[in-house]
Amino acid sequence: VTGDNTAIARLPAGYHSPQLDVEVRLNTNESPEAPPEGFLDELAGAVRESAGLNRYPDRDARLLRTALAEVHGVRPEQVWCANGSNEVLQALLLAYGGPGRRVALFEPTYALHSHLAKLTRSTLVVGQRDGDFLVAPGEAERVTALQPDVILLCSPNNPTGLSEPRSTIEGLLSAAGEGLLVVDEAYGQFADWSAVELVDAAAPAAGASPVVVRTFSKAWALAGLRLGYAVARPEVIEALTAASLPYHLDSLKQLAGVLALRHDDEMRARVERIVAARSMLAGGLASLSVEVWPSDANFLLFRPLHHDAHQVWEGLVARSVLVRELSGWERLKGCLRVTVGTTRECERFLEALAEVLV
Ligand SMILES: *Cc1c(COP(=O)(O)O)cnc(C)c1O
């Protein structure tokens, strides 16, 4: 079907980050390490023994939601799982956004947030982050005064790196009224606190409790699994269920999620290794002619001081290193983002960058 009158023709272009065949892939914030061997063995065994693939999956994903509820100290009715946190965000906007509703966010931030707002034909309310790319109290006030139905807040923020202090989230919650505050914690395991602490099952108004969105794609080393979830008040979980397809979460994924959670210690150890590699990487960048921003996540934002960002990106690709170029983003002109890889990958990146910047 063609023609400008089709609904598809009026949609924004799809969201994607270019992939190239290189040796050092540091462009999509994946884990540089594979998931634990023990997990893979358990998964292979469980697929044979208990996947029940002739039957439809458990629509309520009870085992997985119960396991996640235990991790976060909430009730299973407060957890909702989907195919990646991107699908959780989509369901949230299907349920709470849409024509005639306002969706607020603070730029620069994860591009999928505004993309989903447009896709659901919500009215976008754009706030601006401050110099460190955090949300200043005055800007939070200005945005909440416009009474958004949904506020999307990425913390730690992608692609800039810092997480918001508790006071900012509390300020937004108390000003949000009936609006829903969604905190995207894709990098939550790298931060020193989580807004899950503020989820209140008995909160009287929607705005009084955040919806926290998490993923298995980053710290859990399972980007290929496509599994994410929300922790929220039970009413929000009911709305998300109503906005999703029946049997949207397959049996294999439910099984894999439950088994992955048993390897929590290994996940934490991996996060520690990545944080150590991040310090090394930040130290290396500091000795080159680039500006580097602080990070509470598994990536670093940087800007070459005397070189064009696109040429730097090309120079790195020529040395088989792929990072994310952000130079086209308003407020991030000349910037690039590098994922923290293994120590060896970080070294390869630093060597290549030093060559490109001569
Ligand atoms: C990577 C990322 C996600 C993860 O999306 P999945 O669909 O779970 O892979 C979500 N939000 C942000 C901000 C991210 O950077």
For the stretch 126-157, pLDDT in tens is 999 999 999 999 999 999 999 999 999 999 99
Q: What is the dihedral of CA 85, 90, 94, 98, to 10 degrees?
A: 130
pLDDT confidence of residue 327:
87
User: Taking the complete model, does pTM exceed 0.75, yes or no?
Assistant: yes
Which atom number of ligand 1 is nearest to the Cα of residue 83? 7
CA atoms within 13 A on the CB side of 292: 18
Q: CB of 85 closer than 6 A to ligand 1?
A: yes
In whole angstroms, give the CA distance from residue 124 to residue 12: 13
For the beta carbon of residue 344, count every other beta carbon within 10 angstroms: 11
Is the distance from CB of 110 to CB of 154 less than 8 angstroms? yes
Is the distance from CB of 214 to CB of 228 less than 8 angstroms? yes
Which atom number of ligand 1 is nearest to the Cα of residue 86? 7
Q: Distance, CA 153 to ligand 1 centroid (Å)?
A: 13
Phi-psi region at 105: left, alpha or beta (left = phi > 0; alpha = psi -120 to 50)? beta
Q: CB of 156 closer than 6 A to ligand 1?
A: no
Residue 19 above 80 pLDDT?
A: no
Ligand 1: which residue has its CA nearest to atom 2?
Answer: 186
Q: CB of 152 closer than 6 A to ligand 1?
A: no
pLDDT confidence of residue 201:
81
pLDDT confidence of residue 70:
98
Determine what percent of the chain is predicted with pLDDT higher than 90: 88
Q: Distance, CA 17 to ligand 1 centroid (Å)?
A: 12
Query: Is 44 exposed, middle or buried, given 0-12, 13-18 or 19+ CB atoms closer than 10 A?
Result: exposed
User: What confidence tier does 67 reach under pLDDT thresholds 50, 70, 90?
Assistant: very high
299 strand-pairing partners: 339
pLDDT confidence of residue 12:
53
Q: Which of 27, 115, 215 to mutate to test the pocket of ligand 1 (most atoms within 8 A of CB)?
A: 215
Q: Distance, CA 322 to ligand 1 centroid (Å)?
A: 19
Residue type, 247: Y
